[in-house]
Structure 1
Amino acid sequence: MWQQQSFYLIMSGIITGSLSVSWDMAVSPVVFVPRGEDVVLPCSFTHPRQQYYSGKITVKWLARESRALPFFTCSVTNNSMEGKHGCAESELKYSTYGDLRRGELSLLIRRVQLSDNCTFFCRVELEGLLKYFQKETQLYVTVQPQILNMSVVEPGSDGAPRRLQCEVEGQPLPNVTWLSASGTPIQDLEVKNQQRGPARLLSSVPYLQEVLSCRAESRLGAAERRHPAAHSTTLIISVSVSGLIVLLLLLVTGCIAYRRNRVRAAASPIYANAETVENHRLQDSDRPVGGSVELQLVYSTLNDASSSQHAGVKKPISQQEEPVVLYSPVNMNSD
């Protein structure tokens, strides 16, 4: 009797051992992803009945605690290897990435945030099997260093000195260095650092109206900002130079216009038509057929039209206008 029991125990151990050896689950220990991007947490499994198993496959994803309630669950009946299953069709924050019927249990997380930075657990359950298999993976959300704000804190009622504070963000948390106007690190400042959340740091130093720069640096990069801001000074200089250039252009334009007006005022209007008369004299087309014409210049004095209409009215000597001399061509026929 004991021999039969021993035989059953040995066979059970062989079968159980073969099943346990055939089971396998693979995950990535650590997954890095920048904030705001999509990420896939890889997870896959194999089991001894995978080729002919037609039952239900259930994948569960847990966060932070190995015995926590699943935040994502999906089940697929493994009776067909054709077509898509509903778990991969979701457009929500979480969905599967792969086919459960082929042992692909990976989780897709869309638009990762700092709150997603934790330990995840991938679990698989087969219908009719009481035992489940589970492994963990660490999601590490990264944030490049950046300076969120720089401001001056005025002295309070407690008599604290005036301070310049710099709020930085980064994951991993960056190191903060204070620099002088020449870019040299300042060693003798009383620096106070205070962490504000998992990825924010507030650093401050005494401030006496000098130019200081705050530099945040980590293995992902660096960011730097100065106070007062350099672009403010540059903007003021640019505006001043532009205004000076516009003023110079206006002065040059005014001088040119003034000189032109002076030249026009100095020119005499009496001989304004002399060039036109000379051109007529030189044109041969003005000669009549069969005769010779000699053009001579004559002039006459014309009085103001208003004066001729009122001949009986005499103007004062101070108001009399000067006569206007006009030149005109006259044809002189020679016999």
Structure 2
Amino acid sequence: MTHFTELPLLPEDFSWFAMSPRMWRQNQRIFLILSVIFTGSCSDGWKMAVSPVVTASRGEDAVLSCSLTNSKQQQYSGKIHVKWFARESDSSPFFSCSVQNDSATQGLGDCSFSELKHSLTGDPRRGELSLLIRKVQLTDDGQYFCQVELDGKQRLTQKTQLLVPAEPQILSLVVVETPPASGSAPWRLQCEVEGNPLPKLVWLSASKLKLDDQGKTTESGRFRRIGEVPYLEGEELTCRAENSLGGAQRSYPPSQTLMITAVVCGLMGALLLLLLFIAGLVHCRRNRGERQKHRLQQAPVDTVYENVVKGHRVRASDPPADGHSEIQLVYSVVDSPPAHQLVSSSCPPEPVVLYSPVNVQQINRECHV
């Protein structure tokens, strides 16, 4: 018969129960990961996919792709609730909509496309959950989370990143007055820059050399920085901003070269327009004169005579020149005869130029003789 001796339990035998807080947190993370894997494997085959990183320049439209797939999606007739979060810790999404996954249902409800800042680019019933962000700005840069809920029981979430790169810009360059109690220079030159990545600010002298005193720099936002240096009246300084995409700079006081160039170009343009206007006016008048001359040359003599004398015909009430009724006064001008007619005849052919009162009957009688 075998006898067993009961030995006392030592504290070392319970050491595997006694875990440090750090070890407990690690085990908790492992448990959460395993639970997520287990939940995903038991979520009836639903899978979500997103683009890890999306890049869009400032002012462009960006699409954060997010899709949901399931081999048995057509058999699901429940509700699909789409949510987009700007931060994982946010309790409420900045965009959300829901639609019934039923082919017989008409319309997308609040998931329909719109012209707002944020909207979906597809139909959630086909697994299209992508988010459209119109005219992205630097403030849109950051992480986004795509989330979908199915009947309020299953939930899937994926993270994506939107990058909005931007070259440096000089937002302002002004002289500010320093409070007297500060003990520093009475005037300081202040420069505010913007860009993504956040630009580095450098001060240059009039000779484009780096100043020994770079002053102080503070961040006024996620993508903005303000720099200040002491400033003496009449001094020329340049603020330069640089990042991996490029650089920008501005000098104070502002250069007058650009303004002078603009004024000169404006005056030259105005002078050119004036010359073109005068040339066009002269050309039009010359053409009009040539057309009138051509019409006079082509028109019959009677028509020319009628156009020239117009209202200057002799009236019956006009008195005769020397008392005889056959004599009439003519105060009109008509075309001159050609040169060959003057040579071949001693009498002026009609029409004739009459500059003074004449005896028409006497002229006709002399010509017949």
Instruction: Decide: shared fold, TM above 0.5.
Output: yes
Report the equivalent of 1:58: 81
Distance in 2, Cα, partners of 1:225 & 1:202: 14
Q: 1:85 aligns with which of 108, 126, 148?
A: 108
Report the equivalent of 2:131: 107
Report the equivalent of 1:69: 92
Contact 1:59 1:125 (8 Å CA) reproduced: yes
The normalised TM-score by structure 1 is 0.59
Distance in 2, Cα, partners of 1:130 & 1:236: 71
Q: Which runs of 5+ in 1 are unaligned?
A: 1-14, 244-284, 290-335
Contact 2:113 2:121 (8 Å CA) reproduced: no
RMSD: 3.4
Matches within 5 A, 1:177-326: 177-184=202-209, 186-208=210-232, 209-230=234-255, 232-233=256-257, 235=259
Q: 1:63 to 1:144 in 2, by over 3 A?
A: same
Report the equivalent of 1:327: none
**What is the one-letter code of the residue matched to 2:102?**
N
Question: Displacement of 1:134 after TM fit?
Answer: 0.8
Question: Displacement of 1:118 after TM fit?
Answer: 3.5
Q: 1:25 to 1:66 in 2, by over 3 A?
A: farther
Q: Which runs of 5+ in 2 are unaligned?
A: 1-37, 268-341, 347-369
Q: 1:160 aligns with which of 184, 187, 199?
A: 184
Name whichever structure is richer in strand by fraction.
1
3-state DSSP class of the match of 2:222? coil
Question: Displacement of 1:140 after TM fit?
Answer: 3.1
Runs of 4 or more off by more than 6 Å in structure 1?
A: 237-240
Of all paired residues, the percent bearing the same amino acid is: 53
The normalised TM-score by structure 2 is 0.54
3-state DSSP class of the match of 2:73? coil
Distance in 2, Cα, partners of 1:144 & 1:41: 23
Matches within 5 A, 1:134-145: 134-145=157-168
Q: 1:97 aligns with which of 121, 128, 131?
A: 121
Question: Displacement of 1:39 after TM fit?
Answer: 1.6
Q: 1:66 to 1:193 in 2, by over 3 A?
A: closer
Q: 1:154 to 1:79 in 2, by over 3 A?
A: closer
Distance in 1, Cα, partners of 2:161 & 2:131: 13
Q: 1:148 aligns with which of 171, 186, 203?
A: 171
**What is the one-letter code of the residue matched to 1:75?**
S
Contact 1:190 1:206 (8 Å CA) reproduced: no
Distance in 2, Cα, partners of 1:67 & 1:190: 40
Distance in 2, Cα, partners of 1:19 & 1:122: 20
3-state DSSP class of the match of 2:241? strand
